[in-house]
């Protein structure tokens, strides 16, 4: 760009050339200090973590794609489960075919195998492993879709009013969005609510098997006081980063979204930290900034639980060896592979794609995830007969919903979306209780073997329908 300006300037007379070159220099300087000048994806915020005061803000309340910042909420729910004693660091996390099939970056665990919960945590905070994210979601939520509902419910309770989650990893979904402010809230909540687990975010690298995996966050060890939290990248989101920084008694959380490159994002974050850290309060906070996420109206939905039969049972568990490294790695290129490995075709700015997400910013989580009735599809949904008794053999579960009519509608919608796949299957619902609330599992039965059920499930996933196989 500078070379082009120089070529133009060389053909202009000296007085005029001097004036133009001066103006161009000013313009370039402004572009460097104001990333939003020519970047519609950009958003940023710096919050004093002692007082909650906003020290800097630019498009902080505008919708953006979170990319792998999504995994911050996945980890929040994992930490919640650990703190409640529902899982431990050694809990075995199985990988379904759905989890194993996630695109890079990933650990590469095969379907039917498992890893410990702690290995999964390390893989999320360093490598940003998509397969481990999905495995955790299926284990804690019973299904990836249900876990996403839990994530959104938790976001609402934390005060993240402009966030909707649709998956646990952050891979492209046009109905999944957040804001820089909401991500800052989550960053503060992670450190305030789970200080015993927060040090995971400072891990520079760890070794799984024979592979050493470095943290994508290059500011660890580079910028004084940075102790996490998370990077993220897809082509639609640009380069994202949430940073927690402590220097003496001063503490800030900063968010940069939509960077044009990893280096420019990191440099801009470093500039924000250098500029606004001295403006942060030195007085310690008298109370947490983010209210506890327990006891919300959606606690029955958001409460992390362990399904007893919903997750596929691993056939074997590989030998694991975790070595947490203290030394920082060099530049990381895998972050770019997170989107490069998939066929991504989404708009650069998140916008609702259907009536289901038009009012999500202010809607409670039940409304955000409400399934449409038949008439909302113009009366075009074929009815599906449901039964209260499971058919014999294997089944595939496609949803778990708090209302039977919603479960029936989901079965009808799925049947209409994949008639060939489900031609010989029977839709039905199964009830179960969780936290005193009755839920309805939406399933298709009639598969004679595990292989047949998984084959049908794989076909549904090719149509963007989450599912997994279960034996009746």
**How many other C-beta atoms lie within 10 A of the C-beta of residue 196?**
10
CA distance 187 to 243: 8
Task: Select which of 71, 113, 127, 157 is catalytic.
Answer: 71
**Residue 15: CB partners within 8 Å, gap ≥ 6?**
none
CA distance 161 to 155: 7
CB 231 within 8 A of CB 335: yes
450 flagged as catalytic: no
Task: Select which of 59, 62, 68, 178 is catalytic.
Answer: 68
Could you read off the pLDDT of 128-142 as tens digits, one per residue? 999 999 999 999 999
* Both tokens assigned to 290: 């983010």
128 flagged as catalytic: yes
Considering the segment(s) 371-471 as one domain, its CATH architecture is: 2-Layer Sandwich (3.30)
CB 126 within 8 A of CB 325: no
pLDDT (tens, 9 = 90+) of the chain, 472 residues, equals 445 444 544 444 444 445 444 444 444 444 445 665 578 899 999 999 999 999 999 999 999 999 999 999 999 999 999 999 999 999 999 999 999 999 998 999 999 999 999 999 999 999 899 999 999 999 999 999 999 999 999 999 999 999 999 999 999 998 999 999 999 999 999 999 999 999 999 988 888 888 888 888 889 888 999 988 999 999 999 999 999 999 999 999 999 999 999 999 999 999 999 999 999 999 876 678 887 765 433 333 333 333 333 323 222 333 344 444 333 333 334 444 444 444 444 444 444 333 223 333 334 555 554 433 322 222 222 233 333 333 447 889 988 887 787 888 888 889 888 888 888 888 888 887 766 677 788 888 888 788 888 888 888 988 888 888 887 6
Task: Select which of 59, 96, 114, 128 is catalytic.
Answer: 128
Cα 146–chain centre separation: 14
In a 13 Å sphere around the CA of 385, the CA atoms on its Cβ side amount to 6
The answer on whether 416 is annotated among ligand-binding residues is no
40 flagged as catalytic: no
Q: For residue 208, list its beta bridge partners.
A: 211, 322
CB 218 within 8 A of CB 269: no
Considering the segment(s) 38-340 as one domain, its CATH architecture is: 3-Layer(aba) Sandwich (3.40)
CA distance 77 to 301: 12
CB 118 within 8 A of CB 90: yes
- Please report, for the chain, the start and end positions of each structural domain, with discontinuous segments joined by +: 2-33, 38-340, 371-471
Dihedrals φ, ψ of 128, to 5°? 60, 50
CA distance 259 to 261: 5
**Mean confidence (pLDDT) of the chain:** 76
Could you read off the pLDDT of 210-247 as tens digits, one per residue? 888 888 888 988 899 998 899 999 999 999 999 999 99
């Amino acid at each position: 760009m500078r070379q082009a300006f120089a070529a133009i300037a060389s053909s202009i007379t000296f007085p005029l050339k001097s004036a133009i070159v001066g103006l161009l220099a000013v313009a370039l300087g402004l572009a460097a200090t104001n990333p939003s000048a020519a970047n519609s994806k950009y958003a940023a915020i710096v919050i004093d973590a002692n007082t909650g005061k906003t020290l800097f803000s630019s498009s902080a309340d505008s919708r953006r794609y979170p990319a792998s910042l999504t995994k911050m909420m996945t980890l929040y729910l994992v930490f919640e489960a650990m703190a409640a004693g529902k899982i431990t660091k050694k809990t075995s996390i199985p990988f379904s075919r759905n989890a194993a099939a996630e695109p890079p970056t990933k650990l590469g665990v095969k379907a039917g195998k498992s890893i410990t919960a702690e290995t999964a945590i390390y893989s999320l905070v360093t490598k940003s492993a998509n397969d481990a994210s999905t495995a955790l979601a299926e284990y804690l939520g019973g299904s990836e879709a249900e876990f996403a509902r839990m994530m959104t419910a938790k976001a609402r309770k934390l005060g993240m009013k402009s966030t909707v989650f649709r998956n646990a990893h952050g891979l492209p979904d046009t109905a999944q969005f957040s804001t820089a402010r909401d991500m800052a809230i989550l960053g503060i909540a992670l450190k305030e609510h789970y200080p015993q687990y927060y040090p995971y975010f400072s891990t520079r690298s760890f070794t799984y098997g024979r592979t050493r995996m470095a943290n994508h966050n290059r500011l660890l060890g580079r910028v004084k006081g940075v102790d996490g939290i998370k990077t993220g990248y897809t082509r639609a989101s640009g380069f994202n980063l949430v940073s927690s920084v402590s220097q003496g008694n001063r503490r800030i959380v900063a968010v940069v979204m939509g960077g044009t490159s990893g280096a420019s994002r990191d440099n801009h974050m470093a500039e924000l930290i250098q500029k606004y850290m001295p403006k942060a309060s030195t007085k310690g906070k008298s109370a947490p900034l983010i209210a506890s996420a327990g006891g919300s109206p959606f606690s029955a939905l958001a409460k992390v639980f362990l399904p007893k039969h919903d997750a596929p049972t691993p056939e074997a568990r590989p030998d694991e060896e975790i070595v947490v490294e203290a030394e920082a790695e060099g530049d990381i290129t895998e972050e770019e592979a997170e989107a490069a490995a998939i066929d991504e075709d989404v708009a650069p700015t998140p916008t609702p794609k259907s009536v289901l997400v038009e009012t999500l910013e202010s809607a409670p989580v039940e409304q955000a995830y409400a399934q449409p009735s038949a008439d909302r599809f113009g009366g075009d949904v074929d009815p599906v007969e449901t039964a209260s008794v499971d058919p014999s053999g294997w089944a595939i579960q496609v949803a778990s919903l708090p209302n039977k009519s919603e479960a029936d509608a989901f079965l009808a919608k799925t049947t209409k979306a994949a008639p060939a796949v489900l031609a010989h299957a029977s839709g039905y619902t199964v009830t179960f209780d969780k936290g005193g609330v009755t839920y309805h599992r939406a399933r298709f039965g009639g598969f004679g073997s595990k292989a047949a059920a998984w084959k049908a499930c794989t076909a549904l996933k090719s149509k963007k329908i989450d599912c997994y196989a279960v034996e009746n």
